């Protein structure tokens, strides 16, 4: 059989972006992809998770700049949306990001270089940063800096997984029907990290492939979101605890993290006020998590059977 010489090359990367009404933020994300310095071929798959607003024509216009697929599903959550994106993808490496993220111009080229140098690794955590143009963004930068620095392992892997910037080889997924557990409404990436810990395979940190998280909310809006998300995450973390794996920090580790963040907040680009904002938000999230565990009527997750 003769190959079709006009057939487009298979993409090196498939970039999956779930969206729920955040079309304005998505425009900036797609612009950052259009500015990539990499000469590798990539496709972009947008999964509309049942948005109330239709896809703007300005978003569809990006299809003239790079291969773009827009898939819609009934509102089922971010994990289910990412799974749909995986099933629709064709690339050898699948990259996950979010609508409110911006990839640095060299992000994909740096990721490609690291993947080529690391044939034994299947999972790659991109370096995440915050947008320090406002107080909420500086608090996000402090949070991400602390988590990634403290989670880095001596071999270059990281005990952290965040799908704002995460990549996986297609060969590692195999015949799995769902990379992410669709029943997890939040922290589905931490649930995936638990599976990787059980296999003894952590993501490799790609420190020079940077994804910037741009928080486009006021402090009040962030706190409201924190409280809602903490409630949804509590169920997921209860399931993780039932596996016998520990991914959450103990109280002593939390205190050490707060000390680390306090020291890091001395940087002029962050500032002490960002520490107070972050500490307050985390305290509220922790309070919600504790309250959830004490609810008498919640359905408890049964612990996993003991390994023999």
Give the pLDDT confidence of 182-227 residue by residue, as tens digits: 888 888 999 999 999 988 999 999 999 999 999 888 889 988 888 8
Give the pLDDT confidence of 20-53 residue by residue, as tens digits: 999 999 999 999 999 998 666 899 999 999 999 9
Q: How far is CA 18 from CA 79, 130, 252, in A?
A: 9, 20, 36
Q: What phi, psi does 273 have (nearest 5°)?
A: -60, -35
> Domain tally for the chain?
1
Give the pLDDT confidence of 58-69 residue by residue, as tens digits: 999 999 999 999
Q: Which residue has the higher pLDDT, 8 or 261?
A: 261
Asked if residue 70 is part of any domain, the answer here is: yes
- Could you tell me the residue range of the domain that residue 44 belongs to? 13-293
Asked if residue 224 is part of any domain, the answer here is: yes
Asked if residue 307 is part of any domain, the answer here is: no
Asked if residue 299 is part of any domain, the answer here is: no
What is the arithmetic mean of pLDDT over 251-263?
91
Asked if residue 3 is part of any domain, the answer here is: no
Asked if residue 238 is part of any domain, the answer here is: yes
Asked if residue 7 is part of any domain, the answer here is: no
Asked if residue 5 is part of any domain, the answer here is: no
Q: How far is CA 247 from CA 123, 132, 151, 250, in A?
A: 18, 28, 11, 9
At 97 the three-state DSSP class reads strand
Listed residue (184, 304, 298, 295) closest to 233, CA to CA: 184
When mean pLDDT is compared across 47-56, 231-240, 262-271, 275-284, the lowest value belongs to 231-240
Q: What is the pLDDT of residue 229?
A: 85
Give the CATH number, domain containing residue 62.
Answer: 3.90.550.10
């Amino acid at each position: 059989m003769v190959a079709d010489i006009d057939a487009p090359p298979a993409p090196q990367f498939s970039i999956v972006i779930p969206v729920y009404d955040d079309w304005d933020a998505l425009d900036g994300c797609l612009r950052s992809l259009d500015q990539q310095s990499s000469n590798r071929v990539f496709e972009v798959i947008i999964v509309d998770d049942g948005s109330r607003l239709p896809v703007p024509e300005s978003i569809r216009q990006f299809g003239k700049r790079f291969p773009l697929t827009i898939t819609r599903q009934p509102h089922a959550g971010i994990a289910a949306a990412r799974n749909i994106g995986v099933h629709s993808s064709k690339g050898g490496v699948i990259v996950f990001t979010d609508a409110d993220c911006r990839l640095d111009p060299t992000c994909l080229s740096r990721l490609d270089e690291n993947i080529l140098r690391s044939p034994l690794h299947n999972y790659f955590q991109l370096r995440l940063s915050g947008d320090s143009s406002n107080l909420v963004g500086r608090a996000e930068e402090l949070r991400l800096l602390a988590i990634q620095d403290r989670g880095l392992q001596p071999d270059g892997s990281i005990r952290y997984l965040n799908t704002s910037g995460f990549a996986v080889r297609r060969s590692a997924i195999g015949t799995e029907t769902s990379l992410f557990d669709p029943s997890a409404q939040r922290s589905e990436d931490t649930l995936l990290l638990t599976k990787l810990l059980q296999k003894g395979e952590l993501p490799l940190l790609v420190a020079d492939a940077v994804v910037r998280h741009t928080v486009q909310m006021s402090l009040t809006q962030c706190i409201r979101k924190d409280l809602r998300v903490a409630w949804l995450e509590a169920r997921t973390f209860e399931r993780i605890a039932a596996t016998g794996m520990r991914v959450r920090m103990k109280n002593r580790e939390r205190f050490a993290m707060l000390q680390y963040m306090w020291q890091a907040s001395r940087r002029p680009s962050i500032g002490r006020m960002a520490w107070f904002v972050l500490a307050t938000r985390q305290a509220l999230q922790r309070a919600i998590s504790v309250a959830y565990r004490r609810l008498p009527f919640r359905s408890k997750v049964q612990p996993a059977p003991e390994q023999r």
